[in-house]
Amino acid sequence: MDMFCIEGGVPLNGTVRVGGSKNASLPILAASLAIQGEVIVRQVPQLQDIVTMSQLLQSMGAIVETREDGSISVDPSQVKSSVAPYELVRQMRASVCVLGPLLARFGEARVSLPGGCNIGHRPIDLHLRGLAALGADIRLESGYVVAEASKLRGAEVDLSGPNGPTVTGTCNVMVAAALATGRTVLRSAAQEPEVEDFARFLNAAGANISGAGTSIVEIHGVRALHEVCHSVIPDRIEAATLALAAAITRGDVTIQNAPTTHMTSVLNALSLIGVPHDITQDAIHIRAGSILRPMELTAEPYPGLPTDCQAQFMALLATVLGESQITDAVFPERFMHVAELVRMGARIRVQDNSAIISGVAQLSAAPVMASDLRASAALVLAALAAEGRTEIRRVYHLDRGYHAFEQKLNQLGAKVQRVRDETMAAVPRPHLEFSRDRVPNT
């Protein structure tokens, strides 16, 4: 198992490029199961989660290949199984995105219920409610969701939940409705750019979807979806993480291929905190040198501040003198990173679904442990700003969502080393490898 050793205190400087979006790629790859023809997806980032999704599709009989240009092609014609096994779903919750496509294609699906998650309570009741509204019979059986529908019919579907709409739930119901008979209206649909990109992909395959990106989506069912080639949007969360890495080191960095039109809330928060920056259509230039201000921020469903940037903003505000507060309205318990930041000298206490941060002039290096994808990104940012050499264990969490993160940071002058963690050597880890011919089979 790998860990990072980071020598902190170096202001980042230079130019870096953002890759394709993980959270746009995953539901799109899953939806290839419902397509009659070859699916080619471009700009897919090379990440562990993409490997897991590819292995899931292959376990059902799809042929998945990574092509010379890095795009992924999926041939779903040989898919015979409509089962998503526990072994794969437990590795990645987004595996649940195969539920809607399998139901639409086979009229049945057997998908393992995703287990617990470090970022909080994550039920899939809204996914099931939406699919049931389209006429699916749904039951839980030995830890699996079993869904059956001889015919899916268009319907009015309300996707509002206690913490707002559901992103992957909107995608699951949208693809099922795209192949249902008649008209569906999704109310309280998630408005994330990844959902809009998902609808763009389905429409390119012959679906008839309008209003994606707003809270009301209208879908007129079609008989079949045909072969399609689609480029996914850039990763707004990776772009925000790199911008915050520049800000926390008080560096001067240009982030290219940044989807700035998808990042208004993030850029507004940077302005409120006083991080000097300039933006263009597809680039953000973070400039050094200014006194930053403490701030109260709330993570909310899009177009609000992304919960996937909450931890990274907390790392920054931990270095800004004065009292700040961060509330997470999407995952109210998403504070696993707090204790590790406190180990690095941050002064943070959690109260209900908020973290109260009393900024300090200097963080200090300490051995810390990553608990989930975005928490690990926050620990890397804190280590870049900290005095001394920090060890971050379990960086496999980071590899799930950031491609070659240490190379990108070192390109900006950081001192990040990836080394084997001998203390954890015994613990087996799924192998991450991208060969040019085929994605490795389980």
Binding site for ligand EPZ (CB under 6 A): 23, 26, 93-94, 121-127, 161-163, 166-169, 190, 194, 307-308, 330-331, 373-374, 401
Question: Secondary structure of 318-332 in the HEC alphabet?
Answer: CCCCEEEEEEECCCC
Quick one: 328 or 406, whose CB is closer to ligand EPZ?
A: 328
* Cβ distance to ligand EPZ smaller for residue 22 or 408: 22
Tokens of 273: 């905190």
Supply φ then ψ for residue 78, to 5 degrees: -95, 10
| Rounded least distance, CB 61 to ligand EPZ, Å | 23
Amino acid at 193: P
Taking the complex as a whole, the smallest distance from the CB of residue 96 to ligand EPZ amounts, in Å, to 8
Closest CA to 388 of 12, 13, 11, 5: 5
The span from the CA of 166 to the CA of 184, in Å, is 17
48: left (phi over 0), alpha (psi -120 to 50) or beta: alpha
Angstrom CA distances, 135 to 55, 127, 150, 158, 163, stand at 29, 13, 9, 14, 25
- Environment class of residue 358 by beta-carbon count within 10 Å: exposed (0-12), middle (13-18) or buried (19+)? middle
Q: Cα–Cα distance between 180 and 23 in angstroms, integer?
A: 25
Residue (44 or 365) nearer to ligand EPZ, CB: 44
Shortest CB 380 distance to ligand EPZ, Å: 14
Report helix, strand or coil for 49: helix
Nearest-approach distance from CB 422 to ligand EPZ, in angstroms: 29
Number of H helices, E strands in the chain: 14, 24
Please, which residue, 52 or 254, has the CB nearer to ligand EPZ? 52
Q: Which is nearer to ligand EPZ, 155 or 189 (CB)?
A: 189
Q: How many whole angstroms separate alpha carbon 408 and alpha carbon 428?
A: 27
DSSP-H helix ranges across 295-385: 310-317, 336-343, 373-385
Closest approach, Cβ 190 to ligand EPZ, in A, equals: 6
* Active-site choice (5, 117, 171, 229): 117
261: left (phi over 0), alpha (psi -120 to 50) or beta: alpha
For ligand EPZ, give the closer residue by CB, 9 or 332: 332
Closest by CA to 377, choosing from 279, 266, 238, 211, is: 238
DSSP 329-343: SSSTT--HHHHHHHH
117 tagged catalytic: yes
**Closest distance between ligand EPZ and the C-beta of residue 245, in Å?**
16
Minimum Å distance from CB 418 to ligand EPZ?
Answer: 21
291 CB burial (10 A radius; 0-12, 13-18, 19+): exposed
CB of 327 or CB of 364, closer to ligand EPZ:
327
Positions marked active-site: 117
